[in-house]
Amino acid sequence: MSSDVSALSFEDALQELERIVKGLEAGQMKLEDAILSYERGSALRQHCEKKLREAEERVQTIIQKNDGSTDVTTLEHSNS
């Protein structure tokens, strides 16, 4: 499990979050492991929400461009 959440893509963070949720729902973890997983899951959720907000802002910027043009290069290479 990668410790730096901010380095994860949206898809990787969401996939890890889904694994954590399944593990917590199974109820088979020791208490300390469950707490650590919950903390990690919370960080992943916040990261995913941030990535979604950023994507929404980018889409809104495209929609609001006055001249109707889009910069495809910027869209393809700004996934960091």
* pLDDT per position as a tens digit, 6-38: 999 999 999 999 999 999 999 999 999 999 999
Q: pLDDT per residue over 43-59, tens digit each?
A: 999 999 999 999 999 99
Tokens of 49: 């929400």
pLDDT > 80? residue 61: yes
Local structure of residue 4 (DSSP, 8 states): -
Spatial contact of 37 and 20, defined as CB atoms under 8 Å apart: yes
